[in-house]
Amino acid sequence: MEVGNEIITLENVSKAYATGAPALNGVDLHINRGEFVFIVGDSGSGKSTLIKLLLRELTPTSGYINVMGYDLVKIRHRKIPKFRRNLGIVFQDFRLLKDRNVYENVAFAQRIIQVSNKEIKRNVPSILATVGLAGKYKAKPRQLSGGEQQRVALARALINRPTILLADEPTGNLDPKNSWEIMKLLEQINENGTTVLVVTHNREIVNSMQKRVVTMKKGIIVSDEEKGGYIDED
Amino acid sequence: MRISTFFYTIGQGFRNIVRNKWFSLASIATIGACLFLFGLFYAILSNFEHIVKTAEESVSVTIFFQEGTSDTRIAEIGEMVSRRVEVSKVEFVSAEEAWAGFRDDYLGEYSDGFTENPLINSAHYVIYLEDVSMQPALVTYLESIVDVRRINKSEITAMTLSGINALIAYVSLGIIGILFAVSIFLISNTVTIGISVRKEEINIMKYIGATDFFVRSPFVIEGILIGVIGSMIPMGIIYIIYNQVISYMTERFDMLTQLLEFLPVEIIFQTLLPVSVAMGVGIGFLGSIVTVRKHLRV
């Protein structure tokens, strides 16, 4: 159950893969509604496992996970789509439908929740304008730059007004200019009330933005700081 | 479900075929090749069966009666015989009809010297069988009837036709078995290609929050459409080929067609068309369901 203002709760969460190596080991994490949180750490630190658990792509080996009131350990398979509709997801590799144009990629998220065509025609241009792609709605993903593709992915993640936005290395494939533009958009989205979790390696962005930073190493949280920075590895 | 969602799903099914045109073509070709072979063998075997059936219908057993058997007793025997399960039809030939037939066939104008019917004891029944393999059982029964004097039968014809019938059954089973195995192999290969093409798309849909039904429906519609197209193309080809072959054989082998009667294409297609379309739809439906189901647990 969602407690007070808390929107994401992980209590003593562990995840071990079939190989036996623990990806997460007794993780506790509490995130409030409206927060902007960076999750940082090396490869193999458990960041990706954490995101997969929050998406309910994986289930934990032990522990308790609650996101927006959904108990992700006990949730039934048929309830998962409804749960995910409250999440916006952005990936490093964009994950756009390559054979569909920008408009259709964004509209797709609305079709899934059975929004009428009339509303889709109103909502899609508006969200494309927000991410600065109003003039490119007919373009196919391959005709866009990396930064533009990430904006489409962002528009798709935002169009259903998600409660939480999960961004897994959203700037991983982008140049510094585009990275900053995406981060500014994420900050703007957060200012409008959406809880934003960003998994990143981008030291400069983390250090500049002065947000809460959760640092992971070898499957555990080694640091959790308000207005934190990227901890240098020794 | 909203009407707009329903039409969107149908539309996506159609668009998927165009979007993944190589995969669609491979699937259509796979289903088409299997159903073409199936149709071809069905047409050939149906004709064989028809020819054997026609031959069977002309196989008969004839029974003659003891001298002095009354007309009432002959009628009674006729009633008894016609009630047997082996019997499809019984024809009575009176002594007069038997003589008239013999006279016309063999004597002609030389029959004038006969003042009385020399075949006075030749009244008989011509008994046609439901199935030639039942002939021995019927003959055993006929031999047990008291007033029956003689039974004429053609054992060789009956045995040959029974043998051909059994052969057709075995060949049909064998061919269906081989086609089934080939279809499964080809379709599983095609489905595997389909999985790799669709994996990413299905994953994206599931991440965004699509229900299993929403993800599955366009693929299922696509599968059914591929099945329909994959069955209609070979049926069209078989229709053309069949008519060509029949007219070629009728023209070139006149003697053959006097002996053998081929089934018209309409009769073949009365069964072949619905069965093939149903098989095509079934294969397409199952293929797509299995492919998508494997990737729904995202």
In this predicted structure, the answer to whether residue A53 has a pLDDT above a threshold of 70 is yes
In tens, the pLDDT along B75-99 reads 888 898 889 888 888 888 887 787 7
ipTM over 0.90: no
Of B2, B208, B209, which has the smallest distance from its Cβ to A116's Cβ? B2
Q: What is the share, in percent, of chain B residues with pLDDT greater than 70?
A: 87
pLDDT of B146 reads 85
Mean pLDDT of A174-199: 91
Rounded mean pLDDT of chain B?
Answer: 82
Domains (range + CATH), chain B: 3-55+160-293 (no CATH), 60-153 (3.30.70.3040)
| A43 found inside a domain | yes
Among B4, B18, B197, B208, the strongest candidate for a mutation testing the A interface, having the largest count of A CBs within 10 A, is B208
> What's residue A211's pLDDT?
94
Q: Which residues of B are less than 8 Å from A159 in CB distance?
A: none
Q: Would A167 be classed as within a structural domain?
A: yes
pLDDT band at B269 (very low <50, low <70, confident <90, very high): very high
Strands (DSSP E) contained in chain A are 6-16, 22-32, 36-41, 62-67, 70-71, 87-91, 164-168, 195-199, 212-217, 220-225
Q: Are B220 and B296 in contact (CB under 8 A)?
A: no
* Contact by Cβ (8 Å): B209, A82: yes
Q: Is residue A232 part of a domain?
A: no
Structural domain including A189 reads 33-56+76-225
pLDDT of residue B111: 65
Closest of A9, A92, A6, A205 to residue A228, by C-alpha: A205
Q: Which two tokens stand for residue B11?
A: 């539309």
Q: Is B53 on the interface with A (CB under 8 A)?
A: no
The pLDDT value given to residue B124: 87
Would residue A28 count as lying in a domain? Answer: no
pTM: 0.67
DSSP label at B147? T
Q: Is the pLDDT of residue A3 over 60?
A: no
Residue A68 lies in a domain: no
Write out chain B residues lying below 8 Å of A85, CB-based.
208-209
Rounded CA gap, B160 and B298, in Å? 62
Tell me whether strands A220-225 and B60-65 are parallel, antiparallel or unpaired: unpaired
- Tokens representing B206 are 């599931």
Length of chain A: 234
pLDDT band at B283 (very low <50, low <70, confident <90, very high): confident
Domain count within chain A: 1
Smallest CA–CA distance from B211 into chain A, residue: A81
- In the DSSP assignment, the letter for residue A170 is T
Question: What is the residue type of B24?
Answer: S
| Token pair 């045109």 in the structure block, residue | B21
Contact yes or no for B19 and A99 at CB 8 A: yes
Q: What pLDDT is attached to residue B152?
A: 85
Q: Which chain A residue has its CA at the smallest distance from B18's CA?
A: A99
B207·A111 Cβ contact <8 A: no
Chain A residue closest in CA terms to B202: A97
Chain B interface test: which of A80, A112, A161, A165 (most B C-beta within 10 Å): A112
Q: How far B280 CA lies from chain A's nearest CA (Å)? A: 27
As a dihedral over the C-alpha atoms of residue B144, residue B149, residue B155, residue B157, rounded to 10 degrees, the angle is: -120
**Are the beta carbons of A99 and B223 closer than 8 angstroms?**
no
**pLDDT single digits (tens) A69-91:** 999 999 998 899 999 999 999 98
| Residues of chain A contacting B201 with CB distance shorter than 8 Å | 97
Strands A195-199 and A164-168: parallel
| Rg of chain A, C-alpha, whole Å | 18
Report if residue A233 sits inside a domain.
no
**Chain A contact for B2 (CB, 8 A cutoff):** yes
Show Cβ contacts of residue A19 under 8 Å, excluding neighbours closer than 6 positions: none
Q: Is residue A165 part of a domain?
A: yes
Is it the case that residue A233 has pLDDT exceeding 70? Answer: no
From the CB of residue B137, how many other CB atoms can be counted at a distance below 10 Å? 13
Q: Supply the CATH number for residue A119's domain.
A: 3.40.50.300
**How many residue contacts between A and B have a Cβ separation below 8 Å?**
53
- Shortest CA distance from A111: residue in chain B: B5
- Tell me how close the Cα of A114 comes to any Cα of chain B, in angstroms: 6
**Confidence check: pLDDT of A4 > 70:** no
Pairing of strands A195-199, A220-225: unpaired
Question: B194-236, pLDDT tens digit by residue?
Answer: 667 777 778 888 888 888 888 888 888 888 888 899 999 999 9
**Out of A81, A84, A114, closest to residue B2 by CB:** A114
- Residues in B touching A89 (Cβ below 8 Å): 207-208
- A6 located within any domain: no
